[in-house]
């Protein structure tokens, strides 16, 4: 007789735990374009399976809700059914004994608010109104819709030049993106249903690292039309590249001495070596784009003059202005904004942080860039101060990991309150108010608030502020372009309302975003400017994509990029990430499920050969 | 060449051959349902899955190609299980009441299930709800949601062949089904009624509106005189549906069958075709001379699927259509206005019935513009398939019936009228007569071989006296769209263009018998029509004595006021859905 015993999970329970993990991966990879009512019903079924069966609202109520939702989907319901669903769900949410019940009902209510018209359409006409589609997930979620399965297949076949050509059909920054793209494509990779997302970005890097130079296609015959592009960053150069291939004469105006925008003046060399960026820029310029650097609209010419002089103008300036903390002591010596510091480094001016204790304020990618740069500049310590939790930081996880690895510290849940300086005005410390994480805000993230703890002093000699960027759009406001907090108003087609020939996109419109979003906007702008100018040029690539394997590979771990050994990275701005080995690339490319072929791919067309 | 083994048997096949074809070449049959070469190569039904040694999963044979050293098993336990379970699953979502199905005996799924010896289905029947299976009873195209196996063929044919995309997937997950695209109902759609989705459906999910009972009722009514006409293309195909070999399935035997069914008079639409030519050739020369064809050509108008397509997709071209009615409408109008008088019949008691290879003709005959003072030109249109069903319903044995002549005085017809049923036939028939009208001499009827063929678009220039006529022949609506786009963009110039909605023309019409083996029979049926033309002594529409007599005694000349009234139509007199009005 055992009074107590060591519990070992039953085999069935172990397997169910594995299945939970399978389902959770599957949900992550859930494709866009599914019927929301159908999904709501099936979430509800999952919830109901979890019920303990004690309380009435959960045990019976969730089951009745299921039947009602099923009636909606099977056209057995009337519009009054929606009211019954709502009334029932509200009572369950109010009276179920535990979270299994009330949270399940809350999900139903949330859905009713979010897509009531879908419920109504199912009842009235037995159809979905959500524009059902099952596109290739990675291609669909890539803002520029790069043909991911296509280039992965080409990498697998060793056709690296073709891979680069295929990418350039949709994105003229294959080299840059291979190093710094945020790769939203990987977030919804269907391979997660099997094991883990394909390392798409790593494979792209393998392609560009192994490709021989590929000349740009010959531009279409000259149209005689002239287009001005204001801003020589990724968005502007993308528009310039495609417009140039379409036969238009493009002039890029860039306010800094060199092209590249934030890629050159915002991203440190150890993430994006200058020669990588240069490869893309030279390719783009080889199509005959004219460039004026050190040219600032509002100083060297008025926007209105350019609008008159050119047939069309594309505005895609970056978010280069910094945001201020608005704190006491912010103008002290040793306080610098991150964008300003990174820009200075891009122009060859290295700040002196040697032996200093540095505080970096902010939790985004720029903050990580600033922190890691400060380490390289010889700071004796780097403390990243953030008012939320580490898991709330908006920087990419791999950036945070690398920053930790290189010796940065993160001090979460500290809100900057003031900056202390000595008599000469030099920074001596950053004071913070300790925070406690609390309820959820409208943005769906938990909000920090002041904790009942005394102010905290962090002694330091430098403070780098990385709390966001702004757009300086005043020269464009003067020409009558409408703005909101500096962001220029433009439609989904990038056309600027109330102008004749002006288009805008990228950070200038969306606020600070990613390279691939700027590229996507540039591509959209190029197509619509071409149409506006009265043409219908198509950007296409002529190559065949290798056939997929007969059946897909069974479960296999994802290969991640390794970092160079970084025990000591002071003074070292060399590239950190090492590319895949040929063996790794081959295996990783084989993991691609080829959604361009399998499933909906070969049915509704998994590929656009032109746009 | 690639070497492999299938079921242990060594097989050699050219590189790029699908497993399905390589097996076929070696005499090994792999059953399949959804696969339709060139249109539906998507591996949806998974019935053709085979076991390939070394592969993790089963491999669909229809869309994967052979490779060197491959070892394939089509009848291994795994292959058998895959095939059987997948067919059972399909059957669980299929209304298996074969006894009341129009495709029973000609159904791929039925054959497959029978061959596999599936005697019970281990899964619960899962059919659309009563509400979810509602469909209009009046539209000439009928969809049965309970029969549809979601093979996607209809959708692909409409997308890729006809570029109308009338069909699309609707619903998600387990409720995924095929429905009219963009949340429309079929009556509001721009369906051309070509019927190609029907002839490519492997089961009975799509069919024409069944009008056989209406025809039986008219035949049985002693107060009604039925005047039935048979379209040119029907003679090339009607035997297929009743198991009658081509040499016996003549148009005169079908005339005999119709009389046995109770028809009072039987006519050949080819006579109407000869009239169409006389009217259309005169119209072409008039419009050519009048400069109306300087920018865009004159289009033939005898294919109502094409007319529906043009009016919904490119209404700006409507004025380019010939105003000549299609042959059966002309003949119908004449039956009620001329034939009735000749025979001393009361037009009000006449019911004109057309046996057509076509669904769009059902809609055409119901247009407000297709009638005269004596009522609708044509009261009822039946497809070739429907007449075959009526023959079977009355248990007739056509082979045992002697051939029968048509009824005078509209029983003469030329070979030119017969080839109307094949792509290029209308063009060729018109040119034979136009040549005569311009030069006063008959051309060699075999001089137009270049017009014949099965390519979707054929272009050629033809001399008419001192002018050269730029002509194009198009079949299939996707080809028609491409032609219209190039005309719109100014990349192509023609004077006269024949368009048929169905690939291969009416011979491949959407109302023709369906091949269970997915054979495309338009070319073979077209050849039959050309052979019939070649065998006739009368090759020119303008030499049809009875037609000439009709003009002399009644109509006057082509294009006369009476001819305009009876034989021409106003294409602006009705609207396609979604173009400003409704039919």
- What's the pLDDT tens digit per position in B63-102? 999 999 999 999 999 999 999 999 999 999 999 999 999 9
CB contact under 8 A, A35 and B173: yes
Fold for domain B210-583? Rossmann fold (3.40.50)
Q: Which residues of B touch A553 (CB under 8 A)?
A: 56
What was the pLDDT predicted at B463?
A: 86
B116 and chain A in contact, CB less than 8 A:
no
Interface mutation target, options A550, A556, A593, A604, chain B, most CBs of B under 10 Å: A550
Place of tokens 């000869």: B274
Please give the structure tokens belonging to residue A405. Answer: 């690895």
Q: Are B208 and B358 in contact (CB under 8 A)?
A: no
- Please, what are the averages of pLDDT over each run of 10 residues along chain A (611 residues)? 82 91 92 87 95 91 95 92 95 93 96 93 84 80 95 97 97 97 94 96 97 94 96 97 97 95 93 96 96 94 94 94 89 93 91 95 94 94 96 92 91 96 95 96 93 96 93 90 91 92 94 94 97 95 92 91 79 90 97 93 86 93
**In this complex, which of A34, A38, A551 lies closest to B56 when CB atoms are compared?**
A551
- What is residue B274's predicted lDDT score, i.e. its pLDDT? 95
Q: Is B171 at the interface with chain A, CB within 8 A?
A: yes
Candidate from B52, B172, B179 with C-beta closest to A550: B52
Chain B residues within 8 A of A74 when measuring between CB atoms: 129, 132, 175
Phi/psi at A70 (5° precision): -60, -40
The answer to whether B173 contacts chain A (CB < 8 Å) is yes
Burial class (CB in 10 A: 0-12, 13-18, 19+), B29: exposed
Cα–chain center distance at A133: 22
Which residues of chain A lie closer than 8 angstroms to B56, CB-CB? 551-554
| Chain B residues with CB-CB distance to A535 below 8 A | none
Q: Where in chain A do CATH 1.20.1440.230 domains reside? A: 33-125
DSSP character for A59? I
Residues of B in contact with A126 (CB under 8 A): 131-132
SS3 category, B170 = strand
CB contact at 8 A, A134 and A114 = no
DSSP letters for B123-165 = S------TGGG---SSSSEEE-TTT-----HHHHIIIIIS---
Q: Cα(first)–Cα(last) distance of chain B, in Å?
A: 57
pLDDT for A600: 87
B64 touches chain A (CB under 8 A): yes
- E strand residue ranges, A473-519: 483-484, 487-488, 502-504
Q: How sure is the predictor about B581, in pLDDT bands with cuts at 50, 70 and 90?
A: very low
Q: How far apart are CA A162 and CA A610, in angstroms?
A: 15
Model confidence pLDDT, tens digit, residues B406-441: 998 899 999 999 999 999 999 999 999 999 989 999
> How many Cα neighbours within 13 Å face the side chain of B577?
13
Q: Tell me the angle at which helices A62-73 and A36-49 cross, rounded to the nearest 10 degrees.
A: 160
CATH architecture assignment, domain A137-214+547-551+581-604: Orthogonal Bundle (1.10)
Domain with CATH 1.10.1060.10 in chain A: 137-214+547-551+581-604
Q: How far is CA A25 from CA A34, A40, A205, in A?
A: 17, 18, 26
Q: Which chain A residues are Cβ-neighbours of B157 within 8 angstroms?
A: none
For chain A, say whether B172 makes contact (Cβ under 8 Å).
yes
Cβ-contact A529, A244 below 8 angstroms = no
Query: Tokens for A10?
Result: 């039953």
- Residue B45: partners with Cβ closer than 8 Å, 6 or more residues away: B32, B33, B34, B35, B86, B90, B149, B151
Beta strands (DSSP E) in B47-130 are 49-52, 59-60, 71-73
Which of A121, A603, A605, A606 to probe by mutation at the B interface, max B CB count within 10 Å? A603
B2-92 to CATH, choices 3.10.20.740, 3.40.50.2300, 2.60.40.10, 3.90.1150.10: 3.10.20.740
Chain A residue with CA closest to B153: the answer is A603
Residues 32-51 of B with CB under 8 A from A: 41-44
Distance from CA of B457 to the nearest CA of A (A): 25
> Closest approach of chain A CAs to the CA of B475, in angstroms?
24
pLDDT of residue A4: 87
> Looking at beta carbons, which residues of chain A come within 8 Å of B172?
34-35, 38, 128, 132
User: Which ranges in chain A are annotated with CATH 3.50.50.60?
Assistant: 226-320+471-532, 322-469
Chain A partners within 8 Å of B171 (Cβ): 35, 127-128, 132
Residues of chain B with pLDDT > 90, as a percent, come to: 89
User: Which tokens is B410 given?
Assistant: 């509209």
Q: Look up the CATH number of domain A33-125.
A: 1.20.1440.230
Q: Does B129 touch chain A (CB under 8 A)?
A: yes
3-state secondary structure of A384: strand
pLDDT at B247: 92
Enumerate the CATH 3.40.50.1780 domain ranges in chain B, comma separated: 210-583
Measured CA to CA, the distance from residue B207 to residue B215 in angstroms comes to 17
Average pLDDT, chain B: 94
The single-letter DSSP state of residue A61 is I
CA distances in angstroms from A315 to A339, A493, A502, listed in the order given: 21, 13, 8
Closest CA to A235 of A494, A563, A540, A425: A494
pLDDT score, position B507: 97
According to the model, what pLDDT value does residue A130 have?
65
Burial of A485 (C-beta count, 10 Å sphere; 0-12/13-18/19+)? exposed
CA distance B23 to B432: 47
Give me the total of CB pairs closer than 8 Å, taking one residue from chain A and one from chain B: 55
Phi–psi pair at A573, nearest 5 degrees: -100, 15
User: Which of B172, B180, B183 is most worth mutating to test chain A (most A CB atoms within 10 A of its CB)?
Assistant: B172
Residue pair B460/B262 in contact (Cβ under 8 Å)? The answer is no
How many CA within 13 A on the CB side of residue B583?
A: 25
Query: B40 vs chain A: nearest CA distance in angstroms?
Result: 8
> Residue A429: left if φ>0, alpha if ψ -120 to 50, beta else—which one?
beta
Which chain A residues are closer than 8 Å to B152 by Cβ? 603
d(CA A393, CA A403): 13
Give the nearest partner residue to B55 out of A126, A132, A551, using CB atoms.
Answer: A551
> Which of A73, A125, A552 lies closest to B183 in CB terms?
A125
Residue A8: per-residue pLDDT: 82
Contact B41 A602 (CB under 8 A): yes
- Mention the CATH class of domain A226-320+471-532: alpha beta
Among all residues of chain B, which has the CA nearest to that of A126?
Answer: B132
| A73/B172 CB distance under 8 A | no
Name chain B contacts of A129, Cβ cutoff 8 Å. 183
Separation in Å, CA of A25 to nearest CA in chain B: 19
* A31, A126, A593: best to mutate for the B interface, most B CBs within 10 A: A126
3-state helix, strand, coil in chain B (%, to 5): 40, 15, 40
> Which residue in chain B is spatially nearest to A555 when comparing CA positions?
B56
> B409 preceded by cis ω (within 30°)?
yes
Helix (H, G, I), strand (E, B) or coil at A20: helix
Return d(Cα B271, Cα B291) in angstroms, integer: 30
Compare all CA atoms of chain A with the CA of B152 and give the residue at the minimum distance: A603
Sort out which chain A residues have CB atoms less than 8 A from B15's CB and list them: none
Q: In B, which residues are within 8 Å of A593 by CB distance?
A: none
A439 contacts: CB under 8 Å, gap ≥ 6: A446, A447
**Residue A551 to residue B132, Cβ atoms within 8 A:** no
Please check whether residue B152 touches A, CB under 8 A: yes
Q: What is the pLDDT of residues A304-322, one digit of tens each?
A: 999 999 999 999 999 988 8
CA of A135, closest CA in chain B: separation in Å? 13
Q: Who contacts B117 (Cβ-Cβ below 8 Å, separation ≥6)? A: none
Tokens of A359: 């505080």
Q: Which residues of B touch A34 (CB under 8 A)?
A: 172-173
Superfamily of domain A322-469: FAD/NAD(P)-binding domain (3.50.50.60)
A547/B65 CB distance under 8 A: yes
Q: Per DSSP, which regions of A489-556 are E strands?
A: 502-504
Nearest CA in chain A to B59: A550
Place of tokens 């109504």: A120
How high is the pLDDT of residue A287? 96
Interchain contact, B183 vs A129, CB within 8 Å: yes
Alpha-carbon span A163 to A154, nearest angstrom: 5
Q: Is the model's pLDDT at B580 over the cut of 60?
A: no
Cα distance between residue B551 and residue A374, in whole Å: 100
DSSP strand pairing (A462-465 vs A335-337): parallel
Q: Which of A125, A126, A132 sits opposite B172 (nearest CB)?
A: A132
What is the sign, positive or negative, of the torsion defined by CA atoms of B434, B529, B518, B145? positive
Cross-chain CB nearest to B59 (options A126, A128, A551): A551
List chain B residues with CB under 8 Å of A595.
none
Instruction: Give the per-residue pLDDT at B582.
Output: 38
């Amino acid at each position: 007789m055992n009074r107590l015993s060591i519990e070992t999970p039953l085999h069935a329970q172990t397997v169910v735990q594995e299945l939970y993990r399978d389902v959770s991966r599957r949900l992550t990879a859930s494709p866009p374009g599914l019927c929301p009512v159908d999904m709501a019903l099936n979430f509800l079924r999952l919830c109901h399976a979890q019920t303990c069966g004690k309380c009435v609202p959960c045990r019976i109520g969730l089951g009745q809700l299921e039947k009602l939702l099923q009636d909606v989907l099977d056209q057995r319901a009337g519009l009054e059914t929606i009211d019954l669903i709502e009334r029932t769900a509200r009572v369950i949410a109010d009276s179920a004994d535990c979270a299994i019940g009330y949270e399940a009902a809350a999900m139903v209510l949330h859905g009713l608010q979010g897509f009531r018209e879908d419920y109504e359409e199912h009842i009235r006409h037995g159809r979905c109104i959500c524009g059902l589609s099952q596109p290739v997930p990675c291609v669909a979620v890539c803002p520029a819709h790069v043909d991911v399965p296509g280039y992965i297949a080409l990498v697998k076949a060793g056709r690296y030049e073709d891979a680069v050509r295929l990418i350039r059909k949709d994105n003229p920054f294959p080299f840059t993106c291979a190093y710094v793209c945020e790769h939203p494509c990987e977030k919804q990779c269907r391979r997660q249903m099997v094991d883990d997302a394909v390392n798409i970005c790593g494979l792209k890097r393998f392609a560009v690292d192994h490709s021989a130079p590929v000349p740009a296609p010959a531009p279409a015959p000259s149209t005689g039309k002239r287009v001005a592009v204001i801003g020589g960053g990724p968005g502007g150069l993308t528009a310039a590249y495609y417009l140039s291939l379409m036969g238009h004469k493009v002039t890029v105006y860039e306010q800094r001495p060199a092209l590249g925008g934030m890629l050159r003046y915002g991203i440190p060399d150890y993430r994006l070596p200058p020669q990588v960026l240069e490869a893309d820029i030279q390719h783009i310029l080889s199509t005959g784009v004219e460039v004026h650097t050190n040219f600032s609209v509002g100083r060297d010419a008025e926007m209105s003059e350019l609008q008159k002089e050119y047939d069309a103008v594309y505005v895609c300036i970056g978010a280069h202005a910094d945001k201020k903390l608005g704190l006491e002591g912010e103008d002290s010596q040793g306080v610098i904004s991150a964008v300003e510091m990174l820009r200075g480094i891009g122009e060859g001016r290295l700040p002196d942080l040697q032996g200093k204790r540095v505080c970096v304020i902010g939790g985004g990618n720029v903050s990580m860039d600033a922190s890691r740069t400060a380490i390289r500049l010889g700071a004796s310590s780097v403390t990243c101060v953030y008012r939320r939790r580490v898991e709330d930081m908006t920087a990419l996880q791999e950036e945070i990991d690398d920053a930790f690895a290189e010796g940065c510290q993160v001090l979460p849940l500290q809100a900057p309150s003031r900056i202390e300086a000595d008599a000469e005005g030099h920074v001596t410390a950053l004071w913070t108010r300790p925070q406690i994480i609390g309820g959820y805000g409208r943005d769906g993230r938990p909000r920090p608030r002041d904790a009942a703890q005394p102010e905290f002093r962090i002694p330091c000699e430098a403070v780098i502020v990385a709390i966001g960027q702004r757009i300086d759009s005043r020269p464009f406001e003067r020409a009558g372009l409408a703005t909101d907090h500096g962001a220029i108003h433009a439609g989904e087609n990038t056309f600027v309302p109330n102008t004749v020939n002006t288009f805008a996109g990228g950070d200038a419109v969306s606020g600070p975003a990613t390279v691939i979003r700027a590229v996507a906007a540039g591509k959209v702008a190029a197509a619509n400017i071409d149409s506006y100018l009265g043409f219908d040029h198509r950007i296409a690539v002529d190559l065949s994509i290798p056939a997929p394997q007969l059946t897909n590979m069974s479960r296999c771990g994802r290969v991640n990029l390794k970092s160079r050994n970084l025990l000591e990275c002071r003074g070292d701005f060399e590239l950190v990430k090492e590319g895949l080995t040929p063996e790794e690339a081959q295996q990783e490319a084989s993991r691609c499920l080829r959604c361009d072929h399998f499933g909906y791919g070969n049915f509704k067309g998994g590929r656009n050969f032109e746009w | 060449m690639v070497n492999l083994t299938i079921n242990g048997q060594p097989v050699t096949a050219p590189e790029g051959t699908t497993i399905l074809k390589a097996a076929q070449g070696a005499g090994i049959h792999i059953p399949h349902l959804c696969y339709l070469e060139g249109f539906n190569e998507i591996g949806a039904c998974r019935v053709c899955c085979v076991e390939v040694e070394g592969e993790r999963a089963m491999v669909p044979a229809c869309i994967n190609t052979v490779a060197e050293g491959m070892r394939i098993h089509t009848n291994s336990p795994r292959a058998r299980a895959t095939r059987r379970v997948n067919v059972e699953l399909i059957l669980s979502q299929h209304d298996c009441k074969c006894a009341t199905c129009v495709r029973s005996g000609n159904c791929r799924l039925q054959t497959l299930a029978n061959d596999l010896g599936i005697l019970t289905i281990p899964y619960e029947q899962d059919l659309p709800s009563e509400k979810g299976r509602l469909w209009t009873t009046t539209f000439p195209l009928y969809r049965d949601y309970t029969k549809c196996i979601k093979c996607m063929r209809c959708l692909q044919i409409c997308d890729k062949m006809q570029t109308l995309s009338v069909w699309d997937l609707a619903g998600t997950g387990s409720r995924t089904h095929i429905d009219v695209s963009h949340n429309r109902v079929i009556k509001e759609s721009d369906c051309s009624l070509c019927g190609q989705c029907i002839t490519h459906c492997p089961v009975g999910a799509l069919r024409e509106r069944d009008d056989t009972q209406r025809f039986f009722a008219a035949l049985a009514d002693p107060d009604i005189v039925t005047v039935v006409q048979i379209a040119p293309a029907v003679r090339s195909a009607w035997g297929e549906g009743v198991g009658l070999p081509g040499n016996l399935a003549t148009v005169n035997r079908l005339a005999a069958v119709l009389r046995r069914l109770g028809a009072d008079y039987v006519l050949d639409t080819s006579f109407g075709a000869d009239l169409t030519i006389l009217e259309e050739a005169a119209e072409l020369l008039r419009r050519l001379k009048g400069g109306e064809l300087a920018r865009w050509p004159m289009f033939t108008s005898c294919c109502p699927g094409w007319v529906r397509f043009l009016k919904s997709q490119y209404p700006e071209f409507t004025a380019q259509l010939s105003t000549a009615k299609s042959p059966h409408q002309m003949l119908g109008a004449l039956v009620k206005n001329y034939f009735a008088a000749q025979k001393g019949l009361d037009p009000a008691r006449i019911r004109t019935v057309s046996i057509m290879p076509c669904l769009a003709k059902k809609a055409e005959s119901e247009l407000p513009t297709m009638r005269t003072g004596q009522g609708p030109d044509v009261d009822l249109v039946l497809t070739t398939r429907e007449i075959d069903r009526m023959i079977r319903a009355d248990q007739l044995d056509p082979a045992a019936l002697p051939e029968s002549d048509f009824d005078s005085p509209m029983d003469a017809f030329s070979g030119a009228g017969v080839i109307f049923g094949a792509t290029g036939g209308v063009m060729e028939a018109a040119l034979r007569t136009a040549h005569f009208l311009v030069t006063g001499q008959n051309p060699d009827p075999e001089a137009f071989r270049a017009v014949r063929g099965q390519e979707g678009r054929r272009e050629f220039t033809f001399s008419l006296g001192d002018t050269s006529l730029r002509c194009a022949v198009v079949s299939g609506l996707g080809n028609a769209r491409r032609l219209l786009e190039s005309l719109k963009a100014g990349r192509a110039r023609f004077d006269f263009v024949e368009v048929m909605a169905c690939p291969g023309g009416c011979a491949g019409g959407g109302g023709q018998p369906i091949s269970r083996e997915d054979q495309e029979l338009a070319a073979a049926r077209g050849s039959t029509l050309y052979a019939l033309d070649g065998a006739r002594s009368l090759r020119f529409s303008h030499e049809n004595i009875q037609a000439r007599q009709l003009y002399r005694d009644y109509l006057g000349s082509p294009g006369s006021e009476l001819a305009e009234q009876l034989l021409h139509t106003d294409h602006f007199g009705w609207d396609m859905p979604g173009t400003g009005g409704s039919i």
